[in-house]
Structure formats: C-alpha cells, structure tokens
Amino acid sequence: MSQRNRKTPKDRPASLRWSPVNYALMGSGLVALAVGFLLLSGGSTVLAPLLLALGYVVLIPLGIIR
C-alpha cells in the first residue's frame, strides 16, 4: 500500500487568524448577549430575544469564521 502525503500539524498554515474585525464582532456579540440577558431579566419579551438571537446566530459565528 502506498502512504499518502500527510501534513504534520506544524506544516499546516494557521486556519484561524484573528484580526481587529474578529475582535470587534466577538465583542459586539458579547455585548449583545449581555444586554439581551439583562433585558430578559427585566421582563422585556420583544427586544431581549432579538438581541440574543443576533448575538448567538450572527455576531459570534461571524467573529469566529471571518
């Protein structure tokens, strides 16, 4: 059997490179989550779920993959 050319971990380029844009997206996602949970504890049933969904579904994933 022939062996495949497999790259060792040190030969692979870094796949996640964090730039200031990543930090800004992650920071705004965390702020949206914090404000959403504060509003949720205060009884807001409209704005709080929107902020939580925005943080969990949009901002944090964009901060990770962008």
CB-based contacts of 12, cutoff 8 Å, min separation 6: none
* pLDDT at residue 1 is higher than 60: no
Confidence at residue 10, expressed as pLDDT on a 0 to 100 scale: 67
* pLDDT at residue 2 is higher than 90: no
Ranges of each domain in the chain: 29-65
**Alpha helix positions (H), 1-66:** 20-42, 47-53, 60-65
Confidence at residue 66, expressed as pLDDT on a 0 to 100 scale: 83
Per residue in 22-60, pLDDT (tens digit) is 999 999 999 999 999 999 999 999 999 999 999 999 999
Contact assessment for residue 45 and residue 19, using Cβ atoms and an 8 Å cutoff: no
Going by pLDDT thresholds of 50, 70 and 90, the confidence category of residue 12 is low
